[in-house]
């Protein structure tokens, strides 16, 4: 697990090498093993200096989140953390130099070990990441990161890194002061030895252990730094509405800890860290953003015994915003793209979308002109279906119209090999119905991307009634190849994401129709942790598109169609020509060069009720309606894994990450409490809140969706 060797010159090398892990992590086994080797090096008088490094491609990935996810005993966790803190202080006060030879990624607790060393040297590996990203899973650095980093580079530079969880490449880490030197990988250990021999003896005492130490830029009360905390707290509140305890705890750690000595500061950090470990927000974020997302990215539900599909050529039908985005990410993955539209001008316009994205990256020096040109050369605009020959996969991204989709399906399949996959990017139309136009429905599948494709990480894979295991497996291979996160759902109208996302928007529209103040609706959505309010989201999606989908649904279902509570509001807005952001007029106005603002005409169109609901009630309606609809999706087997429902909700439409997703929200509230809340809402607002049989049966059996 931890190798230890001392050479003839008295240089000890402690090498992390956890045999049962692909990456080194800090856990209940590795921390004591490392502490044992540290103690041996300090006690051995023959040892003049110590190198800490890794035998794996990366240094240390950080703490084992499975261990932290299990934390319930705060006192026990505090004591376990104390052992780590004492060991790192032993390194700092050893009386002999320690150097971190960072050969690859060093994150979280892994980088905190580096901070305790007297010198940090990183290999010049552009794929390596260095930083303290704990805030991204609802935690804070618990191994001294909130105390050592500000003391090393100053509070003003350290706070953004801690609050945003930034991960830096070695050269960027050098510029920010996170490492002291960057060298070619093959010189890493030699440079570490050289520093120990030539400079180590002059650097035995950390700056914060020296008499008269001053934090670079001043302590939290200094004129230059005090405003950082005043403004920072206000900005945090504006951004998070208090939904995320971790950023505020980080601010408190830095403020309180940097007013006292390092040892007291470490105790302050420890108490905040243990408290965060026990919060539902941390458990939710660790579960969904780390474990569940990790399982999805590993293709946990990929059918077995299907050979991995290699892609060399993919066709995209439709060069609008979605098609152009799909073409871009596909070409970015090194795959040749045939981008087809009804006119060459439209197809070229789709390619120009990639040109614009890449030109910006070149200007920002994030890519080279040569790399841009190589990517663009992989996109071939055309109007000729014959050019699709040789494609292993074709994705249609045309209008949400059954007839148009059926036509392009038949025309594409006429030139494709029998083994080729045909996928639809539809967001609502059932895949099994669209597959009726296909000559080989077993090769037909849904690949639902989200806009803008280049930024949105999720792809919802929809399995039709006749979709084969092989097609599903090969579709998942494509999603992995383009570096997106897939979730797999079964066919239904709206599938999972569009169906549940629609309830958030629809509930906002329903409240507007009831006379609830638009500003109250919008602010409640953001206060709940959603990225934008439901009315703003409707504008983004396009009221015209929502109206078109509704009309198609009414046509498909006939007498079985049940109006949604916000239908009339949607009708009135479309009648007024207010169709959303793309037309610069929807629920909001979009003045040129100014911030959007709610349309004043809403007051006349939807008069305010005399009595307004409490903010908490509006939040409850907006959030519970999404979870209860998710429960119906699970009951109907549209979604077969609650973890994928959570990942899909967070990545697909920005469901509040602190709540962990639509299923984790039920788990956090507690099944009995959630059912009671739904029953109360159903009595007041209608059957859309009625808890499904699945939840009642689970509660009766004492079951829950998650163990922790």
Query: Do 386 and 356 touch, CB atoms closer than 8 A?
Result: no
Note whether 122 and 242 are same-domain residues: yes
Together in a domain, 413 and 536? no
Domain termination residue (choose one: 491, 525, 549): 491
Q: Output the DSSP codes for 414-439.
A: TTS-TT-EEEE--SSS-HHHHGGG-S
In a domain? residue 295: no
Q: Same domain, yes or no, for 15 and 57?
A: yes
Residue 444's nearest CA partner among 472, 482, 405 is 472
Same domain, 257 and 125: yes
**What pLDDT shows up at residue 71?**
66
Q: Sheet of 130-131: strands edge to edge? A: 106-107, 130-131, 167-168
Is 653 a domain residue?
yes
The verdict on 416 and 522 lying in the same domain is: no
Closest CA to 63 of 139, 116, 170: 139
Domain assignment present for residue 296? The answer is no
Looking at the fold, whether 662 and 682 belong to one and the same domain comes out as yes
Q: Is residue 433 part of a domain?
A: yes
487 and 521 share one domain? no
What is the CATH classification number for the domain harbouring 633? 1.10.1040.50
Q: Would you say how long the chain is, in residues?
A: 708
- Flag residues of the chain having pLDDT under 70: 71
Name the domain count of the chain: 3
- Rounded to whole angstroms, how far apart are CA atoms 337 and 329? 10
Look at residue 291 and tell me if it is in a domain: no
Q: Which two tokens stand for residue 625?
A: 């309606």
First-last CA distance in the chain: 29
The model's pTM = 0.91
* 448 in catalytic set: yes
**CATH code of the domain containing 214:** 3.90.226.10
Catalytic residue among 448, 547, 667, 685: 448
Q: Residue 432 and residue 571: Cα distance in Å, rounded?
A: 29
467 and 503, same structural domain?
Answer: no
Q: Strands 597-598 and 588-589, how do they pair? A: antiparallel
| In a shared domain, residues 507 and 486 | no
Q: How many CA atoms lie within 13 A of 377 on its CB side?
A: 6
Compute the Cα dihedral for 468, 474, 479, 485 and give only its sign.
positive
Same domain, 45 and 180: yes
Beta strand 119-123 with 181-183 is parallel
pLDDT of res. 415: 97
Same domain, 366 and 223: no
Q: Is residue 287 part of a domain?
A: no
- CA 290 – CA 537 distance, rounded (Å): 27
Same domain, yes or no: 514 and 469: no
**φ and ψ at residue 87, rounded to 5 degrees:** -65, -40
> What six digits make up the tokens of 92?
């700092």
Q: Are 421 and 443 in contact (CB under 8 A)?
A: yes
- Work out the widest C-alpha separation in the chain, in whole angstroms: 87
Per DSSP, what are the bridge partners of residue 396?
317, 424
Of 491, 516, 541, the residue that ends a domain is 491
Residue that terminates a domain, selected from 466, 491, 516 = 491
Three-class DSSP labels, 670-691: CHHHHHHHHHHHHHHHCHHHCC
292 within a domain of the structure (yes/no): no
The partner residues of 122 in beta bridges, in order of sequence, read 102, 182
Give whole-number Cα distances, 487 to 159, 465, 638, 650, in Å. Answer: 35, 17, 11, 12
List the CATH number of the domain containing 427: 3.40.50.720
Residue 299 lies in a domain: no
CA proximity to 324, closest of 395, 423, 402, 414? 395
Q: Which domain holds residue 613?
A: 498-637+641-700
Q: Are 388 and 410 in contact (CB under 8 A)?
A: no
């Amino acid at each position: 697990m931890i190798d230890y060797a001392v050479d003839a010159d008295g240089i000890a090398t402690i090498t992390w090498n956890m045999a049962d892990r692909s990456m080194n992590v800090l856990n209940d086994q590795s921390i004591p093993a490392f502490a044992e080797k540290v103690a041996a090096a300090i006690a051995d008088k023959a040892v003049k200096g110590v190198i800490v490094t890794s035998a794996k491609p990366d240094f240390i990935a950080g703490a084992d989140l499975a261990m932290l996810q299990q934390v319930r005993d705060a006192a026990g966790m505090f004591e376990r953390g104390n052992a780590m803190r004492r060991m790192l202080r032993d390194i700092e006060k050893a009386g002999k130099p320690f150097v971190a030879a960072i050969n690859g990624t060093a994150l979280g607790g892994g980088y905190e070990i580096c901070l305790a060393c007297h010198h940090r040297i990183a290999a010049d590996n552009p794929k390596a990441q260095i930083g303290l990203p704990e805030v991204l899973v609802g935690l804070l650095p618990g191994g001294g990161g909130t105390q050592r980093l500000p003391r090393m580079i100053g509070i003003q530079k350290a706070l953004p890194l801690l609050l945003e969880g930034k991960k830096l490449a070695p050269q960027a880490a050098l510029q920010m002061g996170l490492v002291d030197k960057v060298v070619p990988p093959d010189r890493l250990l030699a440079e570490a030895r050289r520093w120990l021999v030539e400079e180590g003896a002059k650097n035995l005492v950390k700056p914060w252990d020296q008499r008269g130490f001053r934090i670079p830029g001043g302590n939290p009360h200094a004129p230059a730094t005090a405003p950082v905390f005043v403004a920072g707290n206000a900005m945090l509140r504006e951004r998070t509405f208090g939904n995320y305890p971790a950023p505020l705890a980080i601010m408190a750690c830095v403020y309180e800890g940097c007013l006292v000595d390092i040892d007291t500061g470490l105790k302050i950090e420890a108490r905040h860290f243990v408290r965060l470990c026990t919060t539902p927000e941390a458990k939710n974020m660790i579960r969904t953003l780390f474990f569940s997302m990790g399982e999805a990215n590993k293709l946990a539900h990929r059918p077995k015994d299907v050979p991995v599909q290699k892609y060399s050529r993919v066709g995209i039908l439709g060069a609008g915003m979605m098609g152009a985005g799909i073409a871009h990410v596909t070409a970015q993955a090194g795959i040749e793209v045939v981008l087809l539209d009804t006119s060459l001008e439209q197809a070229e316009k789709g390619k120009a979308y990639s040109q614009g994205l890449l030109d910006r990256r070149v200007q920002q020096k994030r890519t080279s002109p040569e790399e841009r040109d190589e990517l663009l050369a992989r996109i071939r605009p055309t109007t000729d279906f014959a050019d699709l020959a040789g494609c292993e996969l074709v994705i249609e991204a045309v209008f949400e119209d059954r007839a148009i989709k059926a036509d392009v399906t038949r025309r594409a399949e006429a030139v494709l090999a029998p083994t080729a996959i045909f996928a639809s990017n539809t967001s609502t139309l059932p895949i099994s119905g669209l597959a009726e136009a296909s000559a080989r429905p077993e090769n037909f599948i849904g690949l639902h991307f989200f806009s803008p494709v280049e930024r949105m990480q999720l792809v919802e894979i929809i399995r039709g009634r006749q979709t084969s295991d092989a097609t599903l497996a090969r579709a998942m291979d494509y999603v992995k190849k383009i570096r997106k996160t897939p979730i797999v759902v079964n066919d239904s109208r709206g599938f999972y994401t569009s169906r549940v996302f629609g309830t958030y928007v629809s509930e906002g529209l329903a409240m507007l129709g009831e006379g609830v103040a638009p500003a109250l609706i919008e602010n409640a959505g953001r206060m709940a942790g959603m990225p934008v309010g439901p009315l703003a989201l409707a504008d983004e999606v396009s009221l015209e598109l929502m109206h078109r989908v509704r009309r198609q649904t009414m046509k498909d279902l006939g007498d079985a169609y049940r109006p949604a509570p916000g239908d009339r509001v949607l009708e009135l807005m479309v009648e007024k020509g207010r169709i959303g952001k793309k037309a610069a007029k929807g629920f909001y106005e979009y003045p040129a060069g100014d911030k959007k603002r709610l349309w004043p005409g809403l007051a006349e169109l939807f008069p305010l009720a005399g009595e307004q609901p409490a903010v908490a009630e509006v939040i409850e309606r907006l959030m519970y309606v999404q979870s209860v609809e998710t429960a119906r999706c699970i009951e109907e087997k549209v979604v077969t894994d609650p973890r994928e429902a959570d990942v899909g909700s967070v990545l697909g439409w920005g469901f509040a990450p602190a709540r962990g997703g639509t299923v984790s929200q039920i788990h956090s509230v507690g099944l009995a409490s959630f059912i009671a809340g739904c029953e109360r809402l159903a009595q007041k607002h209608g059957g859309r809140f009625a808890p499904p049989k699945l939840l009642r049966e689970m509660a009766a059996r004492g079951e829950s969706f998650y163990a922790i």
